[in-house]
């Protein structure tokens, strides 16, 4: 995470997804951590970060692997990106349905 908190929202219920965001004041890179809180279904939503542009990298922890996996980089447009989160899991079942969206911002 960076050294300055920034607003991040999702276009779904806050009962489903929680977001935390920050920016590194030295590099201008933004980091958004978004967690699916639903155990019964995946959630698809747009993550919005004010002023974000450029490209992003998603890192996932899921049932597919106990190791965090990097997805393919993709563009961030209009301050956000559309993502799908796998269902959340209880700790004793394995990995948590979590995504970390690392936005490489041009605002720095």
How does 26-36 read in b/e, with b if 16+ C-beta sit within 10 Å? Answer: eeebbbbbbbb
Domain boundary assignment for the chain: 4-104
Locus of tokens 């890192």: 59
Instruction: Pick 4-104's CATH classification: 3.60.130.10, 3.30.70.3420, 2.60.40.1180, 3.30.565.10.
Output: 2.60.40.1180
Band of residue 107 on the pLDDT scale cut at 50, 70, 90: very low
The distance in angstroms from the start CA to the end CA of the chain is: 15
**What is the C-alpha to C-alpha distance for residues 11 and 9, in angstroms, rounded to an integer?**
7
* Tens-place pLDDT, residues 40-99: 888 898 888 876 777 888 887 666 666 777 877 778 877 788 888 878 776 545 444 455
Q: Note the pLDDT of residue 91.
A: 58
Which DSSP string corresponds to 65-100?
A: EEEEEE---EEEBTTEEEEEEPPP--GGGS---EEE
pTM of the full structure: 0.74
């Amino acid at each position: 995470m960076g050294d300055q908190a920034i607003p991040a929202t999702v276009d779904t219920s806050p009962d489903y997804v929680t977001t935390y965001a920050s920016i590194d004041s030295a590099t201008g890179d933004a980091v958004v951590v978004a967690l699916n809180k639903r155990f019964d279904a995946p959630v698809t939503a747009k993550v919005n970060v004010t002023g974000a542009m450029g490209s992003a990298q998603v890192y996932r922890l899921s049932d597919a692997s106990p190791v965090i996996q990097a997805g393919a980089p993709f563009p961030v447009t209009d301050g956000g990106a559309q993502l799908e989160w796998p269902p959340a899991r209880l700790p004793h079942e394995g990995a948590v349905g979590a995504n970390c969206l690392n936005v490489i911002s041009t605002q720095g």
